[in-house]
Amino acid sequence: MLAQNTDKVNIDFLKDLSGVKNADDLEQIRIKYLGRNGVISKLFNQLKHVAIEDKPALGKNLNLLRSEVTSQIEKLKSSFVSQKSKGDLQMDLTLPGKKYQIGSKHILTQTLDEIKSIFKEMGFSVHVGPELESDYNNFEALNFPKNHPARDMQDTFFISKDFLLRTHTSPVQIRLMENMKPPVRAIMPGRVYRNEAVSARSFCMFHQVEGLYVDTDVTFAELKGTLVSFASQFYGEDLKYRFRPSYFPFTEPSAEMDITCFICKGSGCKICKNTGWMEILGCGMVDPNVFENVNYDPEKYTGYAFGMGIERIAMLKYGITDIRIFFENDIRFLKQF
Amino acid sequence: MKISLNWLKEYIDLEGISIQDIINKLTMSGLEVEDFVNQNEKFKNFIVGYVEENEKHPNADKLTICKVTDGKKSYQVICGAPNVQKGQKVVYAPIGTIIPKGNFEIKKAKIRGVESFGMICAEDELGLGDDYTGIMVLDSNLKVGQKLSDALELNNVIMEIAITPNRPDALSHIGVARDLTALFDKELKIPEVKLNESDIDINDVASIVIEDEENCPRYSARVVTDVKIEESPGWLKQRISGIGLKPVNNIVDITNFVMFECGQPLHAFDLDRLEGKKIIVKSTKGKTKFTTLDSKERELLPDTLMICDDKGDVAIAGIMGGENSEIYQDTKNVLIESAYFNPSSIRRASKHLQMSTDASYRFERGTDPGNTLYAAERTAQLIAKIAGGEIAKGSIDVYPKKIDNKKFILRHNRVNKVLGYKISKQHTLKIFNRLGMKTTELSEDEIEVTVPTFRVDIEREIDLIEEIARISGYDNIPTIPKISISLGLKHDETLFTDRIREYCNALGLYELINNPLQPKHFAALTGNAIEVSNPQSIDMKYLRTSLLSGVLNVVTRNLNRGEKNLALFEIGNIFNLKKGKKVVSSFNDFDEEEILIFVLTGNKIEREWYSDTESFNFYDIKGMVNSFIDKISLDNLLNDSYYTTDNSIYEYYLTKFFKDRVIGNGGKVKDHVLKQFDIDQDVYCFEFNLDALKEIPVVSKKYAELLRYPRIILDFAFIFDKETKFEDVSEFIKNKGSKLLKYVNVFDIFESKEIGDNKKSIAFQLEYYDSSRTLTENEVEKDFENLIKLVSKKFNAKLRGN
């Protein structure tokens, strides 16, 4: 009984559908078959009167019918709509698309991300530390004694006698080594502060990435290898470089790494002070005094550390000549990257 | 520090070595040559000219038309200097010459109608002095047409070397020469001192007492009597001015010369002005005042090391002498001070006084305690030679505890372990010997190295390894292009904030980075601000207590530049003193927290062909916050509270809680706050405490079976009293509806005259389903009808007819 009704409804529907001429006709058909008191609803109501063993098959048929009817109606409906738009409006595909805004990370964040991904692939972890630091972590543990001229290398904002705004990310090295045993291999990005007059070339706040690798057989030769690999991934394969002796209290021996000035390609210009070289980072072998301060055995372990300024790198890479623009946050600047 | 190549050549034979080679080697061994001036190059075009004629310019009062000859040809040159005269020998710059001051090229010119071919130069234009009042008049004995560099022996190279703080031994010409001897394998030649002493015994005319032996371990002195204070001879003036010092008089110039020769700072006292002809070295007890020789009165800290005579203070030790004992025109007898002071004592005083002199710069880095007597005698020798006078017999050398040379053991294997390459023993020994260190081989692996007192930086084996590395060259250390694998756990503590940045970008927000240093009125707006004790300016005296004031300032700046539509975020640290704390003396006295802030202002959509202008409002920021929370999987863990009454920052706002803890907070910024920032459009902000957010344990995601049965969607609309809250109704519906009701959403809301004043219509959409079966219309219908009744009753609402 119900099965036959189902077939009949299907045939009636197809007949009705063939007579549809416009969207209004279609809506009438939709109400007739799919409305709350429509033909198909009624069929569903009959379902409760059929024998229990027939229910699954009949139910399935009814659902099929409903979805078939629904899809036929929808299909016809969309054809009416597209006919209509063809008739009413010749679409102008040259109109601009609707605007969608994807934000962006600050260019300094993007630069750091690039640096981070290179070192992460080499097996470095990433750690962070606080900006308001103790004098001990920022200086003393790193082998800058009180009243030592080396402190002049980093003009400091003091908060109190024993607290300051960290002048470099190196105190994170101390925090890390105090909390774990070797091997330690990590980079440590963060914000640092220097009490220097603000100008186009320097700002009182900037960002650094610190690197540290300590194990039983880490050598200066590996330090060079790691940094050369980093620099050629970051600056380009055909890079020329040199390591120049320098001085940092927490490394011994210490070095600065220069690469060919990419403004003048080494022929000498104002930016590289006619040397043809551009300094990109400081590095060295971890000083034994630092190891002693964190209770590592300096006879057993050796290690290297390095650090670079992110603003400087971004300025060179993107041709930015005034460091202050990073922190003005002019939306036109932020949207460029 | 400026180093003169000609001066260096007195201590090392650099014959046949190019300037570029010297500069490279110095730079590559740690004495970085930052800049250099090759005078040969700089003065190559200038020649000695002769003024044959001069007459007044017809069209200008102050100009003169001169005829200058280079010996072969005469040139017409217009000159503006008042002192130009016929018959003078002058510095003539022909056409094409580059003038050092201003770095411009001389071209043929017409000055007030008269042609000029070249220029007659003044001292300052050449960079040879400060005089700009007139042209430089040369010695009449010079040959006309000669190159200026030959005539004045301007064939020097002046290098600007950056000496790192660990290398005070290199703050002199002998010091730099010593490194060069190691780099080029040459001998170091230190000037020999032989003195002709008079019969006057120094002990009869002067005495010295050190009361503070800790801060003054050694004090050496020499006395020269009957000197004549005069201008220095040409060679000395040239040496001194070549490295940028101003010649003063022969005595002062000699002390400067010896300091830049061997690194030992010296001071010359007028012996007759020293009360009791006595020097006492002691530290101040309380606060003291003292007038230095630059005629400034200075306040000294207690425990400042002073040089005194019988009556009182005569010099701040190691920093500057006093007015009362300085050399003056009639000085006859001179006491030469050559001392070794404790570096940290000098640094403390010089920091406090904010005085850095050539002497203090060296003392605070560490001078050579072993060289004081040599320097005093070298000075005495030069004074006797240049300023006349006689050297009193003997010296005074108070040196209570001799400071010995240090000895360290170097293991060749350790060198290899640190540097990663082997260097020959022979080469190692040569490096040390050239640097003035004695070596003794102890075993196959070990040598003992004796380090002289001038190398204050060498205190351990590792410091010796550095010497080997830097002298043999870092370039010789291999570059190993591999890194050993470590299988330990890798961490990335920035992963969470990286993810957050991605989500913020997806929400259409741009990242900004602000300076956390702020003026007081910004920082005090939102917390208990921490003060910087030595700020750069009052605009950067405090640390931010929230990100809000910083971003509002960014809004202001953009508005001023005509950028009115902003959707931004910032992630950064804020700093607050804890309650009841006044100063930071431990990490427990303050909080440093990482914060995320969203900022929306202006239009979300500008007028477009497909849309009208739409400005940001509260529901934008709320929506972003909730999408964000959803994305970091905390959507079911946080509770919301809404406040329509204002707090100090927001007119109305939303707070997110985790249990009792506030995780985030934000809404519409109050007008009076915006006014402080000169902002005249609505701003919406929301701040999240990321540290708090990170601590919430996230329930890890599990796959939820996708729905395979149809959903039934029904809707109804009611007219409510205006004050009825959407959430109260939706919660009510969720609670009262059957288990099959899974989702309630609002899809329309409006007010109008027709539905009555103080009324509003809210239309809801209800979604029913069961994950295990198909629902019947009946069961849904029943629940739906029931809800209509319950909502009508509970909220005194009227169902709207269709």
Measured distance CA(B370)–CA(B411) in Å, rounded: 27
Residue A6 pLDDT > 90:
no
Range B559-570 average pLDDT: 97
Is the pLDDT at B271 greater than 60? The verdict is yes
CA-nearest of A109, A248, A280 to A191 is A109
Per-residue pLDDT, A327: 97
The answer to whether residues B781 and B769 belong to one domain is yes
A100 in any annotated domain: no
Contact flag B27-A120 (C-beta cutoff 8 Å)? no
The count of other CB atoms within 10 Å of the CB of residue B113 is 9
Domain presence at residue B734: yes
pLDDT band at B358 (very low <50, low <70, confident <90, very high): very high
Q: Exposed (0-12), middle (13-18) or buried (19+): which is B777, by Cβ within 10 Å? A: middle
Instruction: Please give the pLDDT value at position A41.
Output: 80
Specify whether A8 is located in the same domain as A131. Answer: no
**Number of CB atoms found within 10 A of residue B501's CB:** 23
- Mean pLDDT computed over B430-440: 96
The mean per-residue pLDDT over the stretch A117-137 comes to 95
* A252 and A314, same domain (yes or no): yes
> Based on the number of CB atoms within 10 Å of its own CB, is A320 exposed (0-12), middle (13-18) or buried (19 or more)?
middle
Q: Tell me what pLDDT residue B802 has.
A: 46
Weakest-pLDDT range from A225-229, A265-269, B51-55, B434-438: A265-269
Q: Tell me what pLDDT residue B259 has.
A: 98
b/e per residue B151-165 (b: at least 16 CB within 10 A): bbebebbbbbbebbb
**B28 interface with A at CB cutoff 8 Å:** yes
CATH number of the domain enclosing B242: 3.50.40.10
Residue B585 carries which DSSP code?
S
- For the cut 70, the answer to whether the pLDDT of residue B653 exceeds it is yes
Residue of B441, B442, B463, B438 lying closest to B451 (CA atoms):
B438
Farthest-apart Cα atoms in chain B, separation = 131
* Min Cα separation B616/chain A (Å): 14
Give mean pLDDT, residues A107-127: 95
State mean pLDDT over A225-250. Answer: 92
List of chain B residues whose C-beta atoms are within 8 Å of the C-beta of residue A160: 533, 583-585
Let me know if residue A96 belongs to a domain. no
In a domain? residue B274: yes
Is B725 a member of any domain?
yes
Which of the 8 DSSP states describes residue B369? Answer: T
Q: Return the CATH number at B19.
A: 3.30.56.10
Query: Which of B484, B495, B624 to probe by mutation at the A interface, max A CB count within 10 Å?
Result: B484
Q: Is residue A55 part of a domain?
A: yes
Kindly report the CA angle at B770 between B764 and B773, in degrees rounded to 5?
A: 140
Contact A328 B583 (CB under 8 A): no
**Could you tell me the two tokens for A53?**
């063993």
Residue B581 binned pLDDT confidence (cut-offs 50, 70, 90): very high
B419 closest CB neighbour out of A195, A219, A246? A219
Same domain for B664 and B757?
no
- CATH number, domain of A301, equals 3.30.930.10
Residue A133 shares a structural domain with residue A49: no
Nearest CB to A244; choose among B32, B558, B605: B32
Measured between alpha carbons, how far is B66 from B87 in angstroms, rounded to an integer?
A: 11
Co-location of B507 and B592 in the same domain: yes
| Ramachandran quadrant class, A297 (left: phi over 0; alpha: psi -120 to 50; beta: rest) | beta
Rounded to a whole number, what is the distance in Å from the CA of B367 to chain A's nearest CA?
Answer: 13
Closest-approach residue (CA) in chain B for A132: B592
Query: Rounded mean pLDDT of B403-418?
Result: 95
Identify whether residues B309 and B458 lie together within a single domain. no
Which of A106, A228, A274 is facing B513, going by the closest CB pair?
A106
Within-domain flag for B467: yes
Residue B628 within a domain: yes
Identify which has the larger pLDDT, B222 or A239.
B222
Is there a domain that residue A291 lies in?
yes
**Phi then psi dihedrals of residue A33, to 5 deg:** -95, -40
CA B415 to chain centre: 34
d(CA A308, CA A326): 17
Q: Which two tokens stand for residue A182?
A: 């070797």
Residue B486 has pLDDT above 80, yes or no: no
DSSP string, B248-289: --HHHHHHHHHHHHHS---EEEEGGGSGGGEEEEEE-SS-EE
Q: A244 and A160 in one domain? A: yes
Q: Strand, coil or helix: what is A258?
A: strand
Mean pLDDT check: name the lowest of A35-44, A109-118, A121-130, A140-149.
A35-44
Q: Do B289 and B390 fall into the same domain?
A: yes
Contact A279, A286 (CB under 8 A): no
Residue of chain B whose alpha carbon sits nearest to that of A335: B510
Residue that finishes a domain, picked among B398, B431, B456: B398
Confidence (pLDDT) at A43? 80
- Range from B113-127, B285-299, B501-515, B636-650 that averages highest in pLDDT: B501-515
Q: How far is CA B595 from the centre of its chain?
A: 27
User: pLDDT grade, residue A247 (50/70/90)?
Assistant: very high
Q: Is B22 buried (19+), middle (13-18) or exposed (0-12) by CB count in 10 A?
A: buried
> Quick one: B10 and B69 in the same domain?
no
Nearest to B3 by CA among B243, B265, B264: B243
Contacts of B532 in chain A (CB under 8 A): 157-159, 165
Q: Does B78 touch chain A if contact means CB atoms closer than 8 Å?
A: no
What tokens appear for B166 in the block? 């660990």
Percent of chain B with pLDDT over 90: 76
**Claim to verify: residue B65 and residue B161 sit in the same structural domain:** no
- pLDDT for position A316: 85
Task: Identify whether B33 is part of a domain.
Answer: yes
Count of the separate structural domains present in chain A = 2
Dig out the tokens for B315 from the structure: 């010099």
pLDDT, position B208: 96
Handedness of CA B731, B708, B623, B631 (dihedral sign): positive
Pair B164, B27 in one domain: yes
* Whether A71 and A115 share a structural domain: no
Report yes or no for ipTM above 0.95: no
pLDDT average, residue stretch A228-254? 92
Question: Among B348, B372, B398, where does a domain finish?
Answer: B398
Selected for mutation to probe chain A from B584, B713, B715, B785 (highest A CB count within 10 Å) is: B584
Q: Is the pLDDT of residue B563 over 80?
A: yes
- A/B interface, count of CB pairs below 8 Å: 258
Residue of chain A whose Cα is closest to the Cα of B422:
A221
Contact: B511, A103; criterion CB under 8 Å: yes
Domain hosting residue B20, numbered range: 2-40+157-184
Domain final position from A53, A88, A123: A88
CA distance A96 to chain B (A): 9
Which residues of chain B lie closer than 8 angstroms to A302, CB-CB? 417-418
Residues A44 and A170 in one domain: no
Nearest by CB to residue A302, choosing from B344, B418, B514, is B418
In a shared domain, residues A79 and A116: no
Alpha-helical (H) ranges within chain A are 2-18, 23-34, 39-46, 55-88, 107-121, 135-138, 171-179, 220-235, 288-293, 310-318, 325-328, 331-334
Q: Do A253 and B501 touch (CB under 8 A)?
A: no
Average pLDDT rounded to a whole number, residues B761-785 = 92
Query: In terms of domains, do A158 and A245 share one?
Result: yes
Contacts of B474 in chain A (CB under 8 A): 220, 224, 242-245, 253, 255
Cβ–Cβ gap B483/A106 under 8 Å = no
Same domain, B547 and B622: yes
Q: Domain ends where: B359, B381, B398? A: B398
- Residue in A104, A128, A244 nearest the CB of B505: A104
The answer to whether residue B757 neighbours chain A at the CB level (below 8 Å) is no
In order, the DSSP letters of A44-73 are: HHHGGGS-GGGHHHHHHHHHHHHHHHHHHH
Same domain for A198 and A49: no
In tens, the pLDDT along A289-321 reads 999 999 999 999 999 999 999 999 999 889 899
CATH number for position B777: 3.30.70.380
Q: Which residue has the higher pLDDT, B403 or A52?
A: B403
Minimal-distance CA residue of chain A relative to B485:
A123
Q: Is residue A101 part of a domain?
A: no
Please, what's the b/e burial string for B389-421 (b: 16 or more CB within 10 A of its CB; e: otherwise)?
A: bbbbeebbebbeeeeeebebebbbebbebbbbb
d(CA B625, CA B600): 12
A80 & A220 share domain = no
Residue-range definition of the domain harbouring residue A62: 2-88
3-state secondary structure (DSSP) of residue B684: strand
B472 and B559 in a common domain: no
SS3 of chain A: helix, strand, coil, percent, to 5 = 45, 20, 35
Q: Does B162 touch chain A (CB under 8 A)?
A: no
According to the model, what pLDDT value does residue A81 have?
A: 64
Residue A102 lies in a domain: no
- Please report, as a single letter, which amino acid is at residue B336: I
The count of structural domains within chain B is 6
In the prediction, which pLDDT does B647 show? 85
| Confidence band for A129, pLDDT divided at 50, 70 and 90 | very high
Clarify whether residues A197 and A319 are in a common domain: yes
Question: Which residues of chain A have a CB within 8 Å of the CB of B490?
Answer: 120, 123, 125
Q: Compute the C-alpha angle A293/A294/A300, nearest 5°.
A: 100
Residue A94 within a domain: no
Average pLDDT, chain B: 92
Q: Nearest Cβ partner of B558 from A183, A217, A331?
A: A331
**Residue after which a domain boundary falls, among A45, A61, A88:** A88
Contact B186, B12 (CB under 8 A): yes
Q: Which chain A residues are within 8 Å of B505, Cβ to Cβ?
A: 102-105
- Tell me the β-bridge partners of B764: B716, B746
Q: Are A186 and A262 contained in the same domain? A: yes
Taken in order A216, A217, A223, A226, is the CA torsion positive or negative?
Answer: negative
B20 shares its domain with B61: no
Length of chain A: 337
Domain membership flag for residue A242: yes
Residue B191 resides in a domain = no
Whether B489 is covered by a domain: the verdict is: no
Question: Is B176 in the same domain as B56?
Answer: no
